[in-house]
């Protein structure tokens, strides 16, 4: 669901008012039955998905029905039969994802290298493949994990159709995560009941306020200042990458927190998908804090199965896993390079990290600050790969960053003059707010609060953030970045 789209909130309101009025009256007259809550949630989620993308709705329903029937069949079988069913389901799920997400890349970016005419002909007739169904990457991973977890579970319990439907289609997270597991969300969807309490509302409002502020005030106000086309001025390449680094965090974390808040209103607890990643002091720590559910998904369903008992090859499989993770983010060479870049950083940390940190701790002042600064700089450099889909321009940027002449005083003056006075004021205010949010994350960790966002989700801060969103939210919201993935 696109929380920045007015129609989402309009459809949610139009459904909720009559449904919950009917529910209240039904409960008052002792006519409402508990299963009606699960049915109502399923209809609400499917209605919102249909509103978001009518054409993708058909694909979504097909995958739900197919996966449910096959999982039900698998749970009734033992041994090689159950394994064969699980394998077939996973292959078909991944094949559907690959068809919609990667067929263009394969034809244009791989086959097209050897046969340019074939790629040109494909481009002329490939508009039907250009749009990726909303949420496909996320709910495919969720379905795959459900198949694996059901197959490996010691207790083969039957799965009810309504429970499975609500698990996959639960509207706050279906389009852009978090990627929930059977152990975290399915148990909450079994015999689902709405849990409207004052505590749930207060907690949901705090997460909703933080998410909306991050998205509409920070991410959307930074977006107009990011110019991907600048490639020959090193100062601007770094600055735009820095802005993009902030934007992608506030955009994606903002979505996740809105989802968290909406789910909490109904009494559902979603996984916290971000843990203040820009406070990290190593790349390893960064990936424990960034897009948590995707990182753990690749760890449990790709890295560990690939490595098996071959622990001596752990470094190689770690690199492969991160390269695949980059490819998941997008069907383009820059995403593969981005994944390989982070995989390489983790290998450097694995073999040279301890001696380096020992050296920093013994020889240099403020070792924690230096570790944080190097980690954040590495993330910003990674965003150069992530944000640039033009391979030639990406190469130009990388050559610019390593060229001393690109850092000349004249280039700095050119960078300084690239924004008007009014643009500079708006950008400065937005950056001040963004840095303030990041400082509160750092402060929460330094004070050892219960959570990384404990200060930002305190009652009085939540009210300030909500009011600030109403007053200073961008007039032209941009789409959520991860809807493209």
Q: Nearest 10 degrees: CA dihedral of 400, 404, 409, 411?
A: -10
HEC secondary structure over 203-224: HHHHHHHHHHHHHHHHHHHHHH
Q: Of how many residues is the chain composed?
A: 485
Please state, as a whole number, how many other Cβ atoms lie within 10 Å of the Cβ of residue 73: 13
End-to-end CA distance of the chain: 14
* Rounded-to-integer distance, Cα 79 and Cα 86, Å: 11
Question: What are the residue numbers of the active site?
Answer: 329
Give me the half-sphere count of Cα atoms (radius 13 Å) on the Cβ side of residue 29: 7
Tokens of 52: 């978001």
Angle at 206 between CA 205 and CA 207, to 5 degrees: 95
Whose CA is closest to 331, among 156, 83, 126, 471?
126
Measured CA to CA in angstroms, residue 141 lies from 136, 177, 287 at distances of 8, 10, 18
Residues 6+ apart with CB under 8 A from 270: 172, 173, 178, 180, 185, 259, 260, 263, 264
What's the rounded Cα separation, in Å, for the pair 190 and 192?
Answer: 5
Closest by CA to 275, choosing from 283, 263, 287, is: 287
What secondary structure does DSSP assign to 287-308, as a single string? HHHSSHHHHHHHIIIIIHHHHT
Q: Are 105 and 123 in contact (CB under 8 A)?
A: no
How far apart CA 178 and CA 172 sit, in angstroms, is: 9
């Amino acid at each position: 669901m696109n929380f920045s789209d007015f129609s989402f909130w309009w459809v949610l309101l139009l459904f909720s008012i009559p449904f919950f009025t009917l529910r209240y009256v039904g409960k008052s007259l002792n006519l409402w039955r508990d299963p009606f809550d699960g049915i109502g949630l399923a209809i609400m989620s499917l209605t919102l998905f249909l509103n978001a993308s009518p054409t993708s709705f058909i694909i979504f329903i097909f995958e739900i029905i197919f996966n449910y029937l096959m999982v039900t069949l698998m749970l009734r079988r033992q041994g090689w039969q159950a394994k064969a069913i699980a394998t077939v389901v996973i292959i078909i799920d991944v094949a559907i994802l690959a068809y919609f997400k990667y067929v263009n890349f394969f034809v244009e970016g791989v086959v097209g290298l050897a046969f340019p005419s074939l790629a040109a002909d494909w481009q002329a007739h490939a508009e039907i493949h250009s749009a990726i169904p909303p949420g496909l990457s996320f709910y495919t991973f969720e379905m795959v994990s459900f198949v694996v977890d059901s197959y490996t579970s010691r207790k083969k319990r039957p799965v009810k159709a309504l429970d499975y439907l609500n698990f996959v289609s639960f509207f706050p997270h279906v389009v852009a995560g978090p990627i929930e597991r059977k152990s975290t969300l399915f148990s909450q969807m079994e015999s689902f009941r709405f849990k409207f309490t004052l505590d749930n509302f207060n907690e949901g409002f705090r997460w909703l306020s933080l998410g909306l502020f991050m998205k509409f005030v920070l991410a959307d106000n930074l977006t107009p200042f990011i110019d991907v086309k600048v490639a020959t001025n090193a100062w601007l390449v770094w600055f735009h990458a820095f802005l993009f680094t902030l934007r992608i965090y506030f955009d994606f974390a903002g979505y996740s927190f809105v989802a968290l808040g909406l789910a909490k209103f109904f009494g559902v607890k979603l996984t916290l998908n971000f843990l203040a990643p820009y406070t990290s002091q190593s790349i390893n720590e960064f990936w424990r804090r960034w897009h948590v559910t995707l990182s753990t998904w690749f760890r449990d369903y790709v890295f560990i199965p690939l490595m098996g008992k071959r622990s001596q090859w752990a470094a190689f499989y770690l690199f492969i896993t991160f390269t695949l993770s980059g490819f998941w983010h997008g069907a383009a060479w820059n995403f593969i390079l981005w994944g390989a870049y982070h995989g390489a950083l983790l290998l450097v940390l694995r073999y040279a990290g301890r001696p380096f940190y020992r050296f920093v701790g013994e020889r240099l002042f403020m070792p924690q600050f230096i570790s944080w600064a190097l980690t954040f700089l590495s993330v910003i450099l990674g965003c150069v790969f992530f944000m640039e889909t033009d391979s030639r321009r990406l190469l130009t940027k990388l050559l610019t960053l390593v060229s001393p002449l690109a850092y000349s005083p004249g280039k700095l003056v050119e960078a300084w003059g690239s924004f008007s006075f009014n643009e500079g004021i708006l950008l400065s205010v937005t950056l001040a707010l963004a840095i303030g949010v990041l400082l509160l994350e750092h402060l929460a960790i330094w004070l050892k609060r219960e959570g990384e966002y404990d200060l930002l989700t305190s009652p009085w801060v939540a009210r300030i953030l909500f009011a600030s969103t109403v007053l200073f939210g961008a007039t032209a919201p941009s789409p959520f970045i991860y809807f493209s993935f």
